[in-house]
Amino acid sequence: MRITFFVVTTRRTRFTFLRAAWRLRTTFFWATQGEQD
C-alpha cells in the first residue's frame, strides 16, 4: 500500500509539474510575441 501511495503521489507531482512548465512556457511565448509585436 505504501508503494502504491508513493506511485500515485509521484504521478500527481509529475503531472502538476508538467502543467506548471507548460503554463510557464506558454506565458513566456506570448510575452516574447508581445515584445516582437
Q: What range does the domain containing 30 cover?
A: 1-37
Give the pLDDT mean for 2-31: 93
| CA dist list (Å): 28 to 10, 20, 21 | 27, 12, 10
Q: How many domains does the chain have?
A: 1
pLDDT confidence bin for 10, thresholds 50/70/90: very high
What pLDDT, on the 0 to 100 scale, is given for residue 36?
66
pLDDT confidence bin for 18, thresholds 50/70/90: very high
What pLDDT, on the 0 to 100 scale, is given for residue 2?
87
What is the reported pTM? Answer: 0.56
